[in-house]
Structure 1
Amino acid sequence: MSMSVGGDSTEDKPLSDINTTPLVDVMLVLLIIFLIAIPVVLQTVPLKLPAVRFDPTQTKPENVSLSISTAPDGTCAVYWNTSRVGHQELEDRAVAKLKAEIARQGGVGNPALELPEAHIRGDVNVPWQCVGGAIYTMQRAGFAKVGFISEPPPGGAVVRT
């Protein structure tokens, strides 16, 4: 800040002027920093996401339907259709189902071989470890497609065009 006192004038009042040059310098430096930093923060991968809320499930008789909930004692309860299965029984059934389906379609040499899918319905309150364990078991058994079945939002399905 600068201050002038007296001079040629006859008034005894001090004259005070604010030197705005340092303030402008600081503001310009901050503006330059923000102009450089904002594009770095806003870099994203350009994606075009599908305008679909969910895809309708193609239910085939060979697909496996698993339901996962929490048992009253707090453990994971996995159901193959409607019968409760343990971890080892789930893997054994999945391997047997896959082998039977491959044999039914003419073996692995069949070029039109369509493997069954595993559809998992998980309760909202189930811990992630329960669902993750079922996914891992089904993939280890040989199921290439493991998907989730969810409740559609109100308003119905949006169909892809």
Structure 2
Amino acid sequence: MAAATLSEDGEPMMDINTTPLIDVMLVLLIMFIITIPIQTHAVKLDLPQDSNSTPPPVDPIKNKIVVTEDSQVLWNGAPVSLIDLRQFLDVSQQLVPTPELHLQPEANARYELVDEVLATTKRANVEKLGFVGNEAYANEF
């Protein structure tokens, strides 16, 4: 891209070469755009918390699972489903030190439900599990 120094009639050109000026302006524009701080358009809202579904806390020392005659599973006295039980077990296994887990099936509880609870604790890799309340049934046999 050689620049012509003579016009068509043989006189020297009197126009300024604006190509370097445009190049410098573009570089300055890009540098200006890069240095502008990123604008965040966050709207901070304080949403209400659902206080009705607060799960029973996971005790860092020991937790108790009771299987009742009415086919209910209780975690520290509050009724839970097997899915919620698995979530509580996962949370308790992440604590250091790992809390003890006490399993207390009632005398007339369905064996199938007790077996499902045991399978859930095995899938959660519970290492500290103990059966409590067995001394109440010592005279029945």
TM-score (norm 1): 0.44
- CA radius of gyration, larger in: 2
- TM-score w.r.t. structure 2 length? 0.49
Could you say which structure has the greater relative contact order, defined with CA pairs below 8 angstroms and 6 or more residues apart?
Answer: 1
